[in-house]
C-alpha cells in the first residue's frame, strides 16, 4: 500500500482509532500491539500476499535467535556462532533476492532467473538485525512477547522504506501507553503534509524534467545533462525525504518517535557531513555494525580509509544489483577519503564554496545512481565536459523541459518553500513545531497554502517512491 494512495487515506484513520480504543483503559499492551501486527501485515500484503510469509520468517528467525542468545546459550563462542548463522541466513536471503537474477544472467541470458524483489526487504531485514546485534552485545534483553516483537519488526510506517530503526530505541515504545493527544497528532499531521508536499509538489515535477533529459541524453547538450543531473539530486532527496517524513508523521500520530532520516543534507560543507545528514538511519547502521567493528579510525589512517571504502561499497550493493550502484557507493567513499587527505587546504575555502563543491561531488556520483547502465553514465559525464555549449544556457528554455510555464513556476515556488523550511529546520530542528506554535491566522494560512499546493499538483501524477525498489 502506498502512502500517496486513497487506500492509505482510509487505512490510517481506521488503524489509529482502533489502536487508541484498544489502548485506553487497558493495562495490557498485547491487544493494541496485536492490532498493529494485523494492520501492518494488511498494509504490507495489500499488493502481494506472498510478501507476508517472508516478513513472518524474518520475524521468527530473529525472535528465536534473540531468545536463544539471551536466555539459553551461555558460552560466548556459541553465541557468536549463532549470531553469524543468523546474519548469514538473513543477509543471504537479501542477497538472493537482489543478486540471483543478475548472477544468473551473467551465466546465461536465456536462462536468467526472474526474481521479484519483495518491497521493503532491505529495510526490515536490517531493522530486525539490530535486535540480534544488540542482544549479542548485551545492550538489551530479549523481548518476551512475540506479539510485541512482531509489532516492532512489521511496524507499517517504516516497513517499506524506513527509517531503519534500532531495536533498543523503537521496541520499548510498544510497551508504553499511547493515547489520543491532539497536540501530538497535529504535529504528526504537519509532518505528513510536508512529506506529501515534497513528493507531489516537488519530486513529481522534478522527475518529469529529469526523465525528459535522460531519455534523450544522446541529443542533449552538456549543459542540459548537467542541469538534469543536478535536478536529479534534488529529486531523489525530495522523493526519499518525503517518504521518511510521512513515515515519521504517521508514527507520531500513533504515539511513536522515529529517527530523523534527513537533516538538510545540501547544507553540508563536506562529503562526510553530507553523509551524516543523508539517510541517517542507514549510514549510522553501517557505522555501528560494520565500520566500527572493522576498526573504524582506531587502526591507522590506511585502515580507516579502507574501512570507509568497504562501508560505502556495501552501501552501494545494498541499494541495488547493478554495477552502477557499486560505483556510486565507491565514489561516495572515495570522495570522503580525498577530502580527509586535503583537509588543511579545504579549511581555507569559504563556506559557500565548500557547500557548492560538496553538492557537485554528490551530483557527480549520483549520475551513476540515475543511469540505466555504465555506458549511459559515462556518456552523460563525457558529454557534460565535451558537449557543454554555453550558448545553450541562454537558448534552453526551462519551460520546454516537460513542465510548461505554469508547472515550472509552481516548481520554483515549491523550491522556495523547501529552502525556507530547511533554513528554519537547520536553526531550530523542528519547523513543524514552529508552525504548530504560530498564532491561528498564520498557522491556518500555512495549512491552506500547503494543501493548495498539493491539490494543485495532483494533475502531475505522483510516481512510485524511488526507494521502493531497494
Residue owning grid cell 535486535: 131
Q: Considering 178, 187, 279, 319, which one is annotated as catalytic?
A: 319
Cell digits of residue 140: 538489551
DSSP assignment of 275-326 equals HHHSSHHHHHHHIIIIITTTTTTSS-HHHHHHHHHHHHHHHHHHH-SSHHHH
Q: Is 319 a catalytic residue?
A: yes
- Number of Cβ within 10 Å of residue 2's Cβ equals 15
159: CB partners within 8 A, 6+ apart: 40, 43, 44, 55, 120, 123, 124
Q: What is the dihedral of CA 162, 305, 332, 258, to 10 degrees?
A: 20
**Are the CB atoms for 225 and 264 separated by under 8 Å?**
no
**What whole-number distance in Å separates Cα of residue 280 and Cα of residue 282?**
6
Picking from 310, 328, 306, the residue whose alpha carbon sits closest to that of residue 319 is 328
How distant, in Å, are the alpha carbons of 53, 85, 86 from that of 67? Answer: 21, 14, 12
3-state percent breakdown (helix, strand, coil) of the chain, nearest 5 = 75, 0, 25
CA distances from residue 38 to 44, 102, 165, 335 in whole angstroms, order as listed: 10, 34, 20, 45
Determine the angle formed by the axes of helices 374-386 and 323-341, rounding to 10 degrees: 50
Which residue reads 510555464 in cell numbers?
A: 405
Place of cell 544489483: 321
Q: Write out the catalytic residue numbers.
A: 319
Amino acid at each position: 500500500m502506498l502512502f500517496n494512495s486513497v487506500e492509505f487515506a482510509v487505512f490510517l484513520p481506521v488503524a489509529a482509532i482502533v489502536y487508541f480504543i484498544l489502548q485506553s483503559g487497558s493495562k495490557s499492551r498485547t491487544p493494541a500491539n496485536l492490532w498493529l501486527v494485523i494492520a501492518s501485515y494488511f498494509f504490507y500484503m495489500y499488493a502481494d500476499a506472498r510478501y507476508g510469509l517472508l516478513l513472518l520468517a524474518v520475524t521468527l528467525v530473529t525472535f528465536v535467535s534473540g531468545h536463544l542468545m539471551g536466555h539459553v546459550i551461555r558460552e560466548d563462542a556459541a553465541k557468536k556462532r549463532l549470531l553469524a548463522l543468523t546474519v548469514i541466513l538473513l543477509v543471504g536471503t537479501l542477497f538472493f533476492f537482489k543478486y540471483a537474477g543478475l548472477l544468473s544472467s551473467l551465466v546465461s541470458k536465456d536462462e536468467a532467473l526472474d526474481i521479484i524483489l519483495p518491497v521493503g526487504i532491505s529495510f526490515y531485514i536490517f531493522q530486525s538485525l539490530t535486535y540480534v546485534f544488540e542482544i549479542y552485545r548485551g545492550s538489551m534483553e530479549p523481548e518476551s512477547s512475540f506479539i510485541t516483537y512482531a509489532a516492532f519488526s512489521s511496524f507499517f510506517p517504516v516497513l517499506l522504506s524506513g527509517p531503519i530503526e534500532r531495536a533498543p530505541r523503537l521496541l520499548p515504545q510498544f510497551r508504553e501507553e499511547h493515547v489520543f493527544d491532539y497536540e501530538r497528532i497535529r504535529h504528526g499531521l504537519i509532518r505528513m503534509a510536508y512529506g506529501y508536499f515534497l513528493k507531489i509538489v516537488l519530486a513529481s515535477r522534478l522527475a518529469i524534467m529529469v526523465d525528459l533529459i535522460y531519455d534523450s541524453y544522446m541529443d542533449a547538450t552538456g549543459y542540459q545533462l548537467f542541469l538534469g543531473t543536478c535536478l536529479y539530486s534534488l529529486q531523489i532527496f525530495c522523493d526519499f525525504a518525503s517518504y521518511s517524513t510521512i513515515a515519521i508523521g504517521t508514527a507520531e500520530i500513533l504515539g511513536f518517535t522515529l529517527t530523523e532520516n534527513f537533516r538538510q543534507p545540501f547544507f553540508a560543507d563536506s562529503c562526510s557531513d553530507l553523509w551524516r545528514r543523508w539517510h541517517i538511519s542507514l549510514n549510522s547502521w553501517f557505522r555501528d555494525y560494520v565500520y566500527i567493528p572493522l576498526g573504524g579510525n582506531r587502526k591507522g589512517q590506511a585502515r580507516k580509509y579502507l574501512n570507509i571504502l568497504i562501508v560505502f561499497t556495501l552501501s552501494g550493493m545494498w541499494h541495488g544489483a547493478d554495477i552502477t550502484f557499486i560505483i556510486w557507493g565507491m565514489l561516495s567513499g572515495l570522495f570522503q577519503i580525498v577530502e580527509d587527505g586535503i583537509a588543511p587546504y579545504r579549511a581555507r575555502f569559504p563556506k559557500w564554496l565548500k557547500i557548492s563543491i560538496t553538492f557537485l561531488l554528490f551530483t557527480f556520483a549520483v549520475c551513476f545512481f540515475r543511469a540505466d547502465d555504465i555506458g549511459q553514465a559515462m556518456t552523460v559525464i563525457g558529454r557534460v565536459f565535451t558537449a557543454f555549449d554555453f550558448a545553450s544556457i541562454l537558448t534552453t528554455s526551462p519551460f520546454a523541459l516537460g513542465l510548461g510555464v505554469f508547472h515550472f513556476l509552481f516548481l520554483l515556488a515549491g523550491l522556495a518553500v523547501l529552502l525556507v523550511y530547511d533554513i528554519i529546520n537547520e536553526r531550530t530542528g523542528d519547523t513543524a513545531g514552529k508552525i504548530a506554535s504560530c498564532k491561528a491566522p498564520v498557522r491556518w494560512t500555512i495549512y491552506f497554502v500547503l494543501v493548495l499546493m498539493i491539490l494543485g499538483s495532483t494533475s502531475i501524477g505522483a510516481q512510485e517512491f524511488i526507494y521502493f525498489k531497494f
